[in-house]
Structure 1
Amino acid sequence: MFKPQYPRPDTYTPATIRPAPTPAPVEHSAPAPAPTTAPSALAGLGRQSPGTLLALAAGGVAGVLALASVAVSLLLAVAVTAVALSVSSVVLLFLVRALRQEFKGR
């Protein structure tokens, strides 16, 4: 009665899973080749399309802006707290001095 009915996805096509190819047997009589250095992460970026590079750059800028906005909000919170404490300390000092003078007058 209350069972939800979900529409069939029309844009999703699941990826097929293929078994990994079996490696060929290696002969141990030949010397092993010299190890090569792994390509850096930036070398892989050159093979991407310009749209992908633009999206990556925009994501990096968005991350930096998000971090900057968090830092600015924290500094603003500290500044507002400092102003509130300084104003309240001036008010308290005024009240204490007024009460001292009132008690000295009596």
Structure 2
Amino acid sequence: MASAVHVTTTDNAPATITPAPAPVAPAPNGRTVQITPGTALALVGGGTAAVLVVGTVLVSMLLAVAITAASVAVCAVVLKSLLNQQGKQS
């Protein structure tokens, strides 16, 4: 971006160079977020609901893992018992 330069001359004086004024930055829009009590209550309610949903999902996943582990343990005990009985009969 080229800046404009103004040159002034008179008959008896040397030429003087006056730089163009610097461009002024535009003023900020002034748009701010205002949280009303209703909006704050909605945000708190939404956050609470999200935490409860995530907590429920995590607890159900933990319960599924615990049930699977118990089932595998029961299967291991049954297989061990069957293998021990087969070894005693031979």
| TM superposition score normalised by structure 1 | 0.56
Larger Rg: 2
How far residue 35 of structure 1 moved from its aligned partner, in angstroms, is 7.6
The equivalent of 1:85 in structure 2 is: 72
Render the CA deviation track for 1:42-68: whole Å, top value 9, x for unaligned.
Answer: x72xx2221221011110110011111
State which of 47, 63, 73 in structure 2 corresponds to 1:76.
63
More strand by share: 2
- SS across alignment from 1:32: coil
In 2, distance between residues paired with 1:86 and 1:60? 39
Count matched residues. Answer: 69
Unaligned stretches of 5+ residues in structure 1? 1-28
In 2, distance between residues paired with 1:100 and 1:30? 97
| TM superposition score normalised by structure 2 | 0.65
Alignment of 1:5-84 (within 5 A): 31-33=23-25, 44=33, 47-84=34-71
The structure with higher relative contact order (CA 8 Å, sep 6+) is 2
In 2, distance between residues paired with 1:35 and 1:48? 23
How far residue 78 of structure 1 moved from its aligned partner, in angstroms, is 0.5
1:90–1:35 distance in 2 versus 1, CA, 3 Å:
farther
The equivalent of 1:23 in structure 2 is: none
Identity across matched positions, percent? 41
In 2, distance between residues paired with 1:32 and 1:91? 83
How far residue 32 of structure 1 moved from its aligned partner, in angstroms, is 3.0
The equivalent of 1:97 in structure 2 is: 84
